[in-house]
């Protein structure tokens, strides 16, 4: 996708799941939907299948065979840049304003949590018997603020989070 060779996706959905302009965070960075159109399966060309990353039209159609009752959507895609959270998490030099904004945001997240304060959930999850998906949702909230970094196994605090903790 970054090189521009893959710029389409085909999905069977009961209704459109994306709007044009939607940006999604992926392993390669931000990907933007440039078009979302219903298309007849018969209209999909071999060239379009390759633009979707399939080796052939037949391979693509085999992947779409699971839900034959649902319409097929052709989604135009483009690489829209790196994930901004990567640069954000490296920002360890927090201004007073940014520090205050993060503290307010974390306090709000803690108050809204059904499990109480969770900013140290990585240490407490096992001890508290937290459900893994709920834990992951909480970590993603921290990631949105540039405070955590996902590893192959587990997570770690970003330089930004360590700077925030030093000033707390």
pTM exceeds cut of 0.75: no
Q: Taking the CB of residue 142, how many other CB atoms lie within 10 A of it? A: 23
Contact between 70 and 14 under an 8 Å Cβ cutoff? The reply is yes
Q: What are 77's strand-pairing partners?
A: 33
Between CA 101 and CA 1 the distance in angstroms is: 35
Show pLDDT as tens, one digit a residue, over the chain (168 residues).
Answer: 888 899 999 999 999 999 999 999 998 999 999 999 999 999 999 999 999 999 999 999 999 998 899 999 999 999 999 999 888 888 888 899 988 988 888 888 777 777 665 545 455 567 667 877 788 788 889 888 989 887 766 677 888 898 888 886
User: Residue holding tokens 């903790």?
Assistant: 165
């Amino acid at each position: 996708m970054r090189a521009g060779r893959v710029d389409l996706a085909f999905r069977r959905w009961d209704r459109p799941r994306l709007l044009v302009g939607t940006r999604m965070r992926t392993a390669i960075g931000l990907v933007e939907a440039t078009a979302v159109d219903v298309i007849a399966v018969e209209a999909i060309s071999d060239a379009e299948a390759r633009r979707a990353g399939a080796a052939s039209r037949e391979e693509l159609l085999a992947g779409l065979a699971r839900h034959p009752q649902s319409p097929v959507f052709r989604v135009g895609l483009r690489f829209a840049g790196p994930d901004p959270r990567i640069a954000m998490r490296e920002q360890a030099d927090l201004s007073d304003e940014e520090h205050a904004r993060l503290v307010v945001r974390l306090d709000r997240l803690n108050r809204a949590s059904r499990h109480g304060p969770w900013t140290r959930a990585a240490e407490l999850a096992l001890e508290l018997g937290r459900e893994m998906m709920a834990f992951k949702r909480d970590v993603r909230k921290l990631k949105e603020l540039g405070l955590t970094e996902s590893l192959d196994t587990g997570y770690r605090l970003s330089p930004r989070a360590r700077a925030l903790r030093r000033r707390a």
